């Protein structure tokens, strides 16, 4: 007779498959070597000193992904102005990627865009090696296609932001640019950005570290601050002082 205490899960059923773990904010971005539409890449070595947006899409020749790739390609100069490299991924072959990108350039017209050439690298990941490192395979949705993920990675190869979109929903590209500017602003000036912040809006200064500083802020003794209370103070941050993409200048 089988031992009921063997490998079966609760109630005698097999244990559920462990969901793939994705790297968390603040953790090192997993390293990888991959073949892409722009040749082989070694991450993070090849991108030292640059920001990277690594994003996945479910499959080539899919409608939502096609509109996204055209939009990424159109906005590529805006990301490059922020010292950011775009890198795409799907679980398809390099030949499939090339055929799809040729189709986009030669046949697809969308929102005034046509003849769009995608020049950023797109990773061929048939063995799902990169996708699994980044938790892009989510079996409850699909165990053979990547979800619509976005990882913003800083020049130190640390994960700074993680966004996931369902397969049915295309990404919001102004938000990706806004997020990148907000992160760079926070790093450069040691501030935080409030709800719905846009470049040129006031920013939040760090909370005071002592009772004395808190009292000074409430009393208005610190120049240039607008304090709503001791823990919530803002200051002006003109757009001219920020690194913003050309389309926002």
Identified catalytic residue from 2, 65, 84, 211? 65
Distances (CA, A) of 122 to 60, 98, 151, 154: 11, 9, 15, 19
Please confirm, yes or no, whether 2 is among the known catalytic residues.
no
| DSSP at 192 | B
Q: What are phi and psi of 235, to 5 degrees?
A: -145, 160
Give residue 112's region: left, alpha or beta (phi > 0; psi -120 to 50). left
- Return phi, psi of residue 3, to 5°: -75, 115
- Interior angle at CA 29, CA 50 and CA 87, nearest 5: 55
Placement of tokens 């799907």 in the chain = 90
Give the C-alpha separation, 168 to 175, whole Å: 18
First-to-last CA distance in the chain? Answer: 75
Number of H helices, E strands in the chain: 5, 12
* Cis omega (within 30 of 0) for bond into 158: no
Residue 92 has a CB neighbour count (10 Å cut-off) of 22
Instruction: Indicate which residues carry an active-site annotation.
Output: 65
């Amino acid at each position: 007779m089988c031992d009921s205490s063997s490998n079966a899960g609760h109630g005698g059923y097999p244990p559920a498959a462990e969901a793939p773990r994705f790297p968390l904010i603040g953790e090192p971005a997993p390293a990888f070597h991959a073949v892409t539409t722009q040749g082989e890449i070694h991450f993070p070595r090849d991108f030292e000193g640059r920001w990277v947006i690594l994003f996945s899409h479910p499959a080539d020749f899919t409608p939502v992904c096609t509109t996204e790739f055209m939009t990424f390609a159109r906005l590529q100069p805006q990301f490059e102005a922020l010292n950011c490299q775009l890198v795409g991924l799907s679980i398809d072959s390099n030949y499939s990627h090339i055929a799809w990108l040729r189709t986009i350039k030669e046949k697809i017209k969308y929102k005034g865009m046509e003849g769009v050439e995608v020049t950023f690298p797109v990773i061929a990941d048939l063995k799902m090696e990169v996708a699994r490192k980044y938790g892009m395979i989510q079996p409850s949705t699909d165990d053979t296609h990547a979800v619509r993920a976005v990882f913003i990675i800083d020049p130190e190869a640390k994960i700074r932001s993680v966004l996931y979109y369902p397969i049915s929903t295309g990404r919001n590209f102004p938000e990706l640019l806004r997020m990148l500017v907000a992160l760079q602003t926070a790093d450069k000036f040691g501030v935080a950005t409030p709800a719905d912040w846009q470049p040129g809006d006031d920013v939040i200064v760090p909370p005071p570290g002592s009772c004395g500083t808190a009292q000074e802020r409430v009393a208005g003794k610190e120049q240039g601050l607008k304090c709503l209370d001791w823990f919530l103070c803002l200051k002006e941050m003109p757009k001219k002082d920020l690194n913003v993409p050309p389309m926002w200048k």
